[in-house]
Chains A and B, each alone.
Chain A
Amino acid sequence: MRAAIIAVSLLLLVGIGVFFVGGASPAIIVAPEKVFHWPVIGSVTNTMFTSWFVVIFLVVLAFSVGRRLSLVPSGFSGAVEAAVEAFYNIVVQVAGEKNGRRFFPLAATIFFFILTSNYFGLLPINNVIGLTEVNPGFADKHVAMSQSEIPIVGLNVAYIPTTPDAVDLAAGEKAYIEYNGVPKYKAAKDDYNDHSNSAPVKETSSKESHSHEGETITGFNGLIAPYFRSVMTDVNAPLAIAIFSFLFVEFWGLQTLGVSYLSKFFSFGKLLRGDILGGIIDVFVGLLEFVSELSRMVSFTFRLFGNIFAGEVLLLMMTFLVPFVLVDVFYALELFVGLIQAFVFAMLTLVFAVTAVSHHGDEAH
């Protein structure tokens, strides 16, 4: 009986969401938007801004937990310690006791930074509060929202309106934007560049728009450049971590094997000894080895970026289509994806590091 009531009310909520609320319609723009223009630093993108919060959060966590560590674990620091210990055990299992200790700081930093970033990206402040642009003129905008906005303490806070709204386009021309319509995909730049635009409206609105033409318009329609956006949806962030991962792996390889580590890439031994065919094969293999080493950075970057960005898009779309209840399922999915991607990044770095420091059988050939 109770279960039936809950089920019915959940369905009702879904229905209300679909038919009456109408979430913000997302416009997918890949590059992070510049939201601040500060004197010394220059322009600051929203992912940069968010990443500072993540970094500050982690630093504060490190300070407060690091100071309260004790042999008898207790409270919050005990919980953090338990998580770190669990990760440490996995690292030791993969890399062994000695190497595990050496690789742990990097792997743990990667794991916890990515994890925190991803989970920070799931907070509801992301993609909601931001600079709004009624008549968008450049590509730095992220989400087009059929929504209203109010200024609170100098920030424009967007919210979901209960009445359909439209926008003052160019030169006093009014057009109705479909209230519960299809998502408005805008790769922005081309469409929004020329200011004589009626193009976006034509594309995004459907048959209904004509019937409502000339109605009084309230609210806001345009693009919002959010102040907060999930850090890993900016390619630069995964790329930066991938570069560090790459540098550390090469460094550990050099440190452990010395110059002989480089013989993996530049193996001219056979060629100099007169074995032409084998020598050329070796050189070629070394070249492949080198390229694959570099391409790891790319795969690292785009695996993480792709997953998190796709997750963000999925969440925006689901919030637009089914604002209530059902979207929670996708939030749960994103929690899982965020954890898995962080783990994969750290574990792959670890595995590459282990491969780099283990002796390869080149000399034996």
Chain B
Amino acid sequence: MKSEKNRERPNSVVGFYRYFLVVLTAFAFATVPTVVVAAEEVEGISKLGINIPGLIAQLVNFLILLVVLKIFLWGPILKVLDERKRRIEEGLNRAEQAASDALATEEEAKKVIEQARAEARAQNLRSQEAAAKLREELEEKARQEADQIIERAREEIRLEKEQVVQQLQSQFADLTIRAAERVISQSIDQSAHQRLIDEVLTESNFGQDSEN
């Protein structure tokens, strides 16, 4: 890159100065001497100090300065300024790039975190649901079991009751038969009759049993 610049520069500079020198000499030959000679002929202007040697000296001075400063000061300074500008632009671009990169990364991280959080939330929900379901299931099962137990108990009670009633009935029949036996064997009056029955009933403890 540097060599390219170096190759380009001198050509333009040389071309420029050659072109310029042609014009300069043409003008110098054409205008300057006539102007100065004319000026020197006029008393007033020469009193001001315009003279050819002085003018030539100053022209040479300025030309020297122009060339030397162009080559050794303006050129290098412009080059440095350009280079610095380029570097700064580059740096700024890079900084911008870095900033945007950082922003993108942050965004990405945020997204990932958000995602993770959502996932966790979903997981949580799901597990809660599962727990609830499980509990319900268990409850249902327990209820069913309890019902079964109750059912069974009821059945047992019913059966027992039937048994008791049957027993009672058979006992009652027995008692009745025994009472009747007694009644028949003693053949007594109405009051004795009643008393016998009461006796039998009292002996049998029927009333108590039925209350139980």
Q: A and B: partners?
A: yes
Q: Report the stretch among A48-56, A145-153, A197-205 that lies at the interface.
A: A48-56
- Interface residue ranges of B81-100 to A (CB < 8 Å): 81, 83-84, 87
B53 touches A (CB below 8 Å)? yes
B47 touches A (CB below 8 Å)? yes
Interface residues on A, range: 35 or more
A357 touches B (CB below 8 Å)? no
CB distance from B68 to the nearest CB of A (A): 5
- Asked whether A66 lies within 8 Å of B72 as measured between CB atoms, the reply is yes
- Asked whether A51 lies within 8 Å of B23 as measured between CB atoms, the reply is no
Q: For the complex, give the distance between the alpha carbons of A118 and B43 in Å.
A: 28
- Asked whether B55 lies within 8 Å of A59 as measured between CB atoms, the reply is no
Q: For the complex, give the distance between the alpha carbons of A105 and B63 in Å.
A: 12
- Asked whether A31 lies within 8 Å of B49 as measured between CB atoms, the reply is yes
- Asked whether A234 lies within 8 Å of B77 as measured between CB atoms, the reply is no
- Asked whether B84 lies within 8 Å of A234 as measured between CB atoms, the reply is no
Q: For the complex, give the distance between the alpha carbons of A30 and B45 in Å.
A: 10
Set B32, B59, B78: member contacting A88, Cβ < 8 A: B78
B206 touches A (CB below 8 Å)? no
- Asked whether A109 lies within 8 Å of B65 as measured between CB atoms, the reply is yes
- Interface residue ranges of A248-262 to B (CB < 8 Å): 248, 250-251, 254-255
A154 touches B (CB below 8 Å)? no
Q: For the complex, give the distance between the alpha carbons of A272 and B73 in Å.
A: 50
Q: For the complex, give the distance between the alpha carbons of A32 and B50 in Å.
A: 9
Q: For the complex, give the distance between the alpha carbons of A48 and B23 in Å.
A: 26
Interface 1/0s, chain B 142-174, versus A by CB < 8 A?
A: 000000000000000000000000000000000
Neighbouring B residues of A104 by C-beta, 8 Å: 74, 78
- Asked whether B27 lies within 8 Å of A247 as measured between CB atoms, the reply is yes
B132 touches A (CB below 8 Å)? no
- Asked whether A108 lies within 8 Å of B55 as measured between CB atoms, the reply is no
Q: For the complex, give the distance between the alpha carbons of A108 and B74 in Å.
A: 8
A235 touches B (CB below 8 Å)? yes
Q: For the complex, give the distance between the alpha carbons of A58 and B67 in Å.
A: 12
Number of B residues whose C-beta is below 8 Å from A? 38
- Interface residue ranges of A83-126 to B (CB < 8 Å): 84-85, 88, 101, 104-106, 108-109, 112-113
Q: For the complex, give the distance between the alpha carbons of A95 and B69 in Å.
A: 21
CB distance from B13 to the nearest CB of A (A): 10
| Minimum CB distance partner of B79 in chain A | A69
CB distance from A61 to the nearest CB of B (A): 8
Neighbouring B residues of A84 by C-beta, 8 Å: 73-74, 77
A30 with B47, Cβ < 8 A, contacts A71-B84, A113-B62, A247-B27 known:
yes
Q: For the complex, give the distance between the alpha carbons of A136 and B55 in Å.
A: 26
- Asked whether B23 lies within 8 Å of A109 as measured between CB atoms, the reply is no
Q: For the complex, give the distance between the alpha carbons of A31 and B45 in Å.
A: 10
A247 with B23, Cβ < 8 A, contacts A62-B73, A81-B77, A239-B55 known:
yes
| Minimum CB distance partner of A33 in chain B | B49
Neighbouring A residues of B83 by C-beta, 8 Å: 71
Chain A contact residues: over half helix, strand or loop, or mixed? Answer: helix
B42 touches A (CB below 8 Å)? no
Neighbouring A residues of B20 by C-beta, 8 Å: 247-248, 251
CB distance from A74 to the nearest CB of B (A): 12
- Asked whether A236 lies within 8 Å of B78 as measured between CB atoms, the reply is no
Set B58, B66, B76, B77: member contacting A237, Cβ < 8 A: B58
A177 touches B (CB below 8 Å)? no
Neighbouring A residues of B188 by C-beta, 8 Å: none
Interface core residue of B32, B53, B69, B80 (most chain A CB under 10 Å): B69
Neighbouring A residues of B59 by C-beta, 8 Å: 240, 243-244
A70 with B74, Cβ < 8 A, contacts A42-B53, A236-B51 known:
no
A239 with B58, Cβ < 8 A, contacts A59-B68, A250-B23 known:
yes
| Minimum CB distance partner of A112 in chain B | B69
- Asked whether B87 lies within 8 Å of A69 as measured between CB atoms, the reply is no
- Asked whether B51 lies within 8 Å of A113 as measured between CB atoms, the reply is no
Q: For the complex, give the distance between the alpha carbons of A45 and B53 in Å.
A: 10
Interface 1/0s, chain B 17-36, versus A by CB < 8 A?
A: 00110011001000010000
| Minimum CB distance partner of A52 in chain B | B61
- Asked whether A113 lies within 8 Å of B55 as measured between CB atoms, the reply is no
CB distance from B89 to the nearest CB of A (A): 13
| Minimum CB distance partner of A102 in chain B | B16
CB distance from B133 to the nearest CB of A (A): 73
B57 touches A (CB below 8 Å)? yes
8 A-B pairs whose Cβ atoms sit less than 8 Å apart in the complex? A31-B48, A31-B49, A55-B64, A59-B69, A105-B69, A109-B69, A236-B50, A243-B59
